Amino acid sequence: MNPLLTLPATALAKKIRQGEITSEQTVKVHAERLRAANPRLNAVVVPRLEKAMEEARAADAFLAAHGPDACPPFHGVPCTIKESFAFAGLPNTSGLVARQGKPAAIDAPTVARIKAAGAICLGLTNTSELCMWMESGNRVYGVTNNAYDPRRIAGGSSGGEGSIVGSGASPFGLGSDVGGSIRMPAFFNGVFGHKPTGGLVPNTGQHPCPENELSFFTTTGPLCRRAEDLMPLLRVLAGPDGVDTECRAMPLGDPGEVNLRDLTVVSIPGNGSTPVDARLLDAQERCARALADRGARVVNARVDRLRHSLAIWTAMLKSVDQTPFGELLTARRPVRPLGLLADWALGRSPHTLPAILLALVEKAPLPMKRFLREGRLLKEQLLELMGDNGVILYPSYSQPAPPHHVPLVQVVHWNHTAIMNVMGFPVTQVPLGVTRNGLPLGIQVAGPPEKDHRTIAVAMELERAFGGWTPPWTLPKGY
């Protein structure tokens, strides 16, 4: 494989500015990898490879005319973007059949910021229907497969991003996350992902666009094959856009200033309700030891309130003013979940089964006051455990990437990621090599609000310790 397929986006940008490689060469190599990998992945569902090549040649011409100092930070570097983000002139269905044939009129602010930073989009990537399930598949584009094993899930809802970045065909991508939709695809496909502090990055221009306070729990962030790209990309994406009422200016620290010897690492091995695979627990222990060897103080903790993670997440999302999911699914027409389910059983539904089931259960009663209180107390407890200079190590999921459709019978296993959204914590997903049968391992690193640089610094250190992303083509045949 071409070595350009393994470099960070920041390194590619530097080489382009210094004239060691051209943008055209860089985009071409990634486009060729995409053409080779995508037929078995179905990750990029709206390709724009010819247009990307035109933009790469224009980037090279700009560099020749104006010099490297005039170039933005990701000048000439290829990337991908989740299809649920508005990209002017391209589809923005979010996997909903009813939205076909209605291209986006303008770019989402985060898309515009990535373009302004010089990156060149190779295409838009697949998602679950309306971004509300952990397996990326819909009636518009079909199902996305895992970068390491096409029989397994890529995760959701940013599964197309996880799969194509994990395949090596894209240095980084743009995703969104309300219950783990950046971190689970990053975990299942062996790459880095970052869920920012709630309110750090605007969510404007997505479909569905989170409303009111829900935008605090929903976050937009990057998926990358190398950890060093996370903070530069976060700097590009962060900051108010004047539309998202929950987005505000926050200080962005420097990962390079984080001293591991001053760090408290709180290792929590699970939530007590969803058993965690022994291979993931072993990887978590290895992370804790590696950080301890570098001077960090490691504390092992059990937090009983995490048993209620799914109920807390559900209650906190229900407590904010938002359009019900069923109404989004049916374009605000009266919702008849049982009728939707009957149409699906007869093979005439335009919707996926997970979306219908969500519309069916979202009105189920829940003791709201109890779990809102539990959520407040849980956040206080986790902040107290971390103290002034701490992070949390926490499982990413119950197991490495499961086969397709298994999540339908393991419905609550994504509660490990979901709870961090309603806590408002920044969380970096870190790859930790692969299992004996070639499936990615990983860990979540969470921190207090506005300490994104701290979780990213730990991710960078763990990459140095364990190697980070393992390119699929480096694995022995038969994996």
Sign, CA torsion 380/218/170/279: positive
Q: Is the pLDDT score of 330 beyond 90? A: no
Establish whether 94 is a catalytic residue.
no
pLDDT at 270 over 90: yes
Query: What is the domain partition of the chain in residue ranges?
Result: 3-314+367-474, 325-361
- Active-site annotation holder among 23, 94, 136, 157: 157
- Residue whose token pair is 């393994």: 6
pLDDT greater than 70 at residue 344: yes
Q: Which listed residue (23, 94, 128, 181) is catalytic?
A: 181
Catalytic residue (choose from 15, 23, 28, 82): 82
Confidence at residue 476, expressed as pLDDT on a 0 to 100 scale: 86
pLDDT recorded at residue 321: 79
CATH 3.90.1300.10 fits 3-314+367-474, yes or no: yes
Instruction: Please report the pLDDT score of residue 338 as a whole number.
Output: 80
Flag whether pLDDT at 479 surpasses 70.
Answer: no
- Residue 181 appears among annotated catalytic residues: yes
Annotation marks residue 215 as catalytic: no
Amino acid identity, position 111: V
The per-residue pLDDT for 477 is 73
pTM of the model: 0.97
Spatial separation of the C-alpha atoms in residues 422 and 377, rounded to whole Å: 12
Mean pLDDT score of the chain, rounded to an integer?
A: 96
What are the φ and ψ backbone dihedral angles of 306, each rounded to 5 degrees?
A: -65, -15
pLDDT at residue 478, rounded to an integer = 58
pLDDT category of residue 388 using cuts at 50, 70 and 90: very high
**pLDDT tens per residue across span 93-130:** 999 999 999 999 999 999 999 999 999 999 999 999 99
Lowest mean pLDDT among 19-23, 118-122, 328-332: 328-332
